[in-house]
Structure 1
Amino acid sequence: MWSAGPAPKRPAPHVFRPGFSLRPGMRVGLFGGSFNPAHEGHSHVAETARERLGLDKVIWLVSPQNPLKSSRETAPLAERMAGATARARGPGMIVTDVETQLGSQYTIDTVRTLKARFPGVKFVWIMGADSLASFHRWRGWTQIMREVPVAVVSRPWIALKSRFSPAARRFSRFRIPASDARRIAGSDPPAWAFLTAPLNFQSSTALRERMRRTDA
Structure 2
Amino acid sequence: MPHVERGMAVGIFGGSFNPPHAGHALVAEISLRRLRLDQLWWLVTPGNPLKDATQLAPLSQRLEQSEAITPDPRVKVTAFEAAHRIRYTADTLELAVRRNPGVDFVWIMGADSLAGFHRWQRWRDIMAIMPIAVIDRPGATLSFLSSVTAKAFNRARIDEDEASLLARTPAPAWTFIHGPRSSLSSTAIRNAG
CA distance in 2, matches of 1:159, 1:79: 32
Task: Determine the structure 2 residue equivalent to 1:31.
Answer: 13
- Give the drift of 1:85: 1.0
Which position in structure 1 is the counterpart of 2:160?
Answer: 178
Deviations 1:126-182 (A, max 9, x none): 001011111111101110001100001100012222221111111011100000111
**Which aligned pairs between 1:15-30 and structure 2 lie closer than 5 A?**
18=1, 20-30=2-12
Q: Counterpart in 2 of 1:137?
A: 119
Letter in 2 for 1:197: G
Cα distance in 2 for partners of 1:58, 1:133 equals 23
Q: Which residue of 2 aligns with 1:80?
A: 62
Deviation of residue 89 (structure 1)?
2.5
Alpha-carbon separation, structure 2, partners of 1:89 and 1:141 = 32
1:99 aligns with 2:81: yes
Equivalent-residue separation in structure 1 for 2:165 and 2:134 (angstroms): 14
CA distance in 2, matches of 1:208, 1:113: 32
- TM-score calculated relative to the size of structure 2: 0.97
Are the counterparts in 1 of residues 157 and 175 from structure 2 also a CA contact under 8 Å?
Answer: yes
d(CA) in 1 for partners of 2:65, 2:142: 29
Separation (CA, whole Å) in 1 of partners of 2:171 and 2:89: 16
Question: 2:110 matched to which residue of 1?
Answer: 128
Question: Aligned in 2, Cα 1:134/1:89: closer, same or farther, shift over 3 Å?
Answer: farther
| Cα 1:163/1:87, change in 2 over 3 Å | farther
Q: What is the aligned partner in structure 2 of residue 119 from structure 1?
A: 101
Is the 8 Å Cα contact of residues 43 and 89 (structure 1) preserved in structure 2? no
2:184 alignment partner in structure 1? 202
- Identity among equivalent pairs (%): 46
- Is there any run of 5+ residues in structure 2 with no aligned partner, and where? none
Consecutive unaligned residues of structure 1, counting only runs of 5 or more, are 1-17, 212-216
- Structure number, greater radius of gyration: 1
Q: What is the SS of the residue equivalent to 2:71?
A: coil
Instruction: Tell me, in whole angstroms, the C-alpha distance in 2 between the residues paired with 1:162 and 1:206.
Output: 22
Pick from 3, 20, 35 the counterpart of residue 53 of structure 1: 35
Native 8 Å contact 1:132 1:167 kept in 2: yes
Report the aligned-residue RMSD: 0.9
Measure the CA separation in 2 of the matches of 1:132 and 1:46.
17
Query: Any conservation in 2 of the 1:124–1:148 contact (CA below 8 Å)?
Result: yes
The answer as to 2:130 corresponding to 1:148 is yes
